[in-house]
């Protein structure tokens, strides 16, 4: 049943300003004018109270990761330096990651490797492990990393996939890895069609054999996916332009129950894949999310059926006219929390109606609303939010993929942002430094360790320290 314009207008009138607050991250609202007050150094606030965050970042004598006082890091995997159980080097270009509780206190991490095109293009592609290969021509895939106090092991979870960017964990304990490409067999050296989602089980290696694309979720430039544990929906983002990408919802067929490996059992056209369509409180259609220029903006959400989810002749996002669906540039990371999903639009430039340096939205599936929680204005302290996670200490932790210095930064419940780490690995020169983006931000199941990746060359890091509940700011 669609949410009518009248219902939405009535609900926003009841809530006054229309800001729907939900759970521990409810009031995130980093307006452009507030960025100048961001606690980059953990200074006192206007009332003389200690600033939010953890204080200034201290340069790393090893030139890798600047952290606040009292924090430390451990290199878990390093492309070309650490090795898999098979003896082959750790693949490069680390991206989306999730952490799962493993046996006897171990942490199991599934790590995407965003490698596009032929294997010959990369020094360290994902090895073609027997029985775990989808397309032997493709270079990407996932590795599973087992972390113990005094031991790290790594093995292939899936190989022969392409451009494995983000993805998402599931309530049933698996990882959904997303291919951010639309390459067909015969393009870029591929022997099979790509642009799919695959399921990887970190705890059962046998379950990953004979990889099968989950065609029910469509073929397009997938970025991230999140499972709604109550309704069974899968929500997905698309990182694409020309035209801008879409936000999708897959509804399972009647009687279907999620579980390990059950998505593989479905027919390719099972369930319903839909793209979202937003409207404001006045019932006016919203063509692009960049139109929202104030935090607290609330849109109602309807869903429109995708005509051809496998994009046999026309890419999915081009199957709609401009007035049918709402678009957004660089729809990136997502994370479930507070009864809904946090969704990132990394930035908007000339391809969008309004420019910005990043948005974080909250989709409430019960109210069928989308609320702008974080808005980064151009020229602020941070830009280009990408992967994201909900922090057990309140607020969000966000991986930066922007210009210049690259940070992991937090956003408090009250909307203030603060640095957690800075990448100091210069891939350029002293006069023209280049710093790779952060990816794969995720907490260990016990909340004590923050895992994150530096995408190039491909480094997984475990960060520990005096974590604390963050004030609203």
The pLDDT value recorded for residue 472 is 67
Distance, in Å, from the CA atom of 304 to the CA atom of 274, rounded to the nearest integer, reads 5
Give the separation between CA 426 and CA 115, rounded to whole angstroms: 21
Across 56-174, the runs of DSSP E, i.e. the strands, are 57-58, 65-68, 72-78, 94-101, 107-113, 140-148, 151-161, 164-169
DSSP 327-367: BBTTEEEEEEETTEEEEEE--B-TTSSS-BS-EEEEEETTT
Q: CB atoms < 10 A from the CB of 407, how many? A: 25
- Is cis: bond before 446, omega within 30 of 0? no
pLDDT of residue 415: 67
- The answer for residues whose C-beta is within 8 angstroms of residue 280's C-beta and 6 or more apart is 286, 299, 300
What is the tens place of the pLDDT at every residue in 41-80? 444 444 344 578 999 999 999 999 999 999 999 999 999 9
CB 437 within 8 A of CB 455: yes
87-93-96-100 Cα dihedral, nearest 10 degrees? 20
Question: pLDDT (tens digit, 0 to 9) for every residue of the chain, 473 residues total?
Answer: 444 444 444 444 433 332 222 222 333 333 333 332 244 444 444 434 457 899 999 999 999 999 999 999 999 999 999 999 999 999 999 999 999 999 999 999 999 999 999 999 999 999 999 999 999 999 999 999 999 988 999 999 999 999 999 999 999 999 999 999 999 999 999 999 999 999 999 999 999 999 999 999 999 999 999 999 999 999 999 999 999 999 999 999 999 999 999 999 999 999 999 999 999 999 999 999 999 999 899 999 999 999 999 999 999 999 999 899 999 999 999 999 999 999 999 889 999 999 999 999 999 999 999 999 988 877 778 888 999 999 999 999 999 998 899 999 998 876 678 999 999 999 999 999 999 999 999 999 999 999 999 999 999 999 999 999 987 65
Neighbours of 2 (CB within 10 A): 12
CATH class (in words) of the domain with range 5-464? mainly beta
DSSP label of 88: P
CA distances 61 to 26, 58, 67, 68, 424, Å, are 38, 9, 11, 14, 10
The phi and psi torsions of 138 (rounded to 5 degrees) equal -90, 155
Determine the pLDDT at residue 416.
79
Q: Where are the domains of the chain?
A: 5-464
């Amino acid at each position: 049943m669609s949410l009518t314009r009248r219902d939405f207008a009535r609900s926003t009138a009841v809530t006054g300003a229309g800001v729907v607050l939900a759970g521990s991250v409810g009031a995130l609202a980093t307006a452009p004018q507030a960025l100048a007050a961001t606690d980059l150094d953990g200074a006192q606030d206007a009332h003389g109270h200690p600033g939010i965050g953890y204080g200034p970042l201290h340069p790393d004598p090893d030139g890798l990761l600047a952290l606040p006082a009292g924090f430390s890091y451990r290199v878990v995997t390093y492309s070309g330096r650490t090795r898999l159980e098979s003896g082959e080097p750790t693949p490069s270009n680390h991206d989306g990651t999730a952490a799962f509780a493993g046996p006897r206190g171990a942490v199991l991490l599934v790590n995407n490797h965003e490698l596009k095109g032929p294997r010959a293009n990369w020094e360290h592609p994902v090895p073609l492990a027997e029985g775990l290969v989808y397309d032997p021509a493709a270079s990407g895939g996932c590795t599973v990393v087992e972390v113990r106090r005094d031991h790290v092991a790594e093995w292939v979870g899936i190989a022969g996939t392409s451009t494995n960017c983000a993805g998402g964990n599931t309530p049933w304990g698996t990882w959904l890895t997303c291919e951010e490409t639309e390459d067909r067999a015969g393009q870029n050296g591929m022997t099979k069609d790509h642009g799919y989602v695959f399921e990887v089980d970190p705890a059962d290696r046998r379950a990953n054999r004979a990889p099968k694309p989950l065609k029910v979720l469509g073929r397009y430039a997938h970025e991230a996916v999140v499972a709604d544990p109550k309704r069974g929906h899968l929500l997905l983002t698309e990182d694409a332009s020309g035209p801008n990408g879409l936000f999708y919802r897959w509804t399972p067929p009647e009687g279907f129950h999620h579980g390990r490996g059950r998505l593989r059992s479905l027919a390719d056209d099972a369930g319903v894949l839909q793209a979202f369509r937003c409207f404001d409180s006045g019932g006016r259609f919203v063509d692009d999310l960049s139109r929202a220029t104030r935090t607290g903006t609330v849109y109602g959400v309807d869903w429109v059926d995708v005509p051809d989810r496998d994009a046999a002749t026309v890419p999915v996002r081009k199957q709609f006219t401009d007035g049918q669906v709402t678009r957004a540039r660089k729809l990136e990371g997502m994370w479930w929390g507070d009864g809904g999903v946090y969704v990132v639009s990394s930035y908007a430039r000339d391809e969008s109606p309004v420019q910005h340096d990043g948005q974080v939205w909250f989709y409430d599936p019960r109210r069928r609303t989308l609320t702008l929680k974080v808005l980064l204005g151009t020229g602020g302290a941070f830009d280009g939010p990408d992967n994201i996670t909900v922090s057990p200490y309140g607020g969000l932790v966000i991986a930066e993929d922007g210009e210049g210095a690259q940070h992991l930064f937090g956003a408090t419940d009250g909307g203030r942002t603060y640095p957690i780490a800075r990448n100091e690995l210069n891939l350029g020169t002293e006069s023209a430094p280049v710093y790779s983006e952060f990816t794969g931000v995720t907490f260990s199941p016990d909340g004590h360790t923050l895992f994150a990746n530096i995408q190039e060359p491909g480094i997984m890091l475990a960060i520990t320290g005096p974590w604390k509940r963050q004030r609203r700011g």
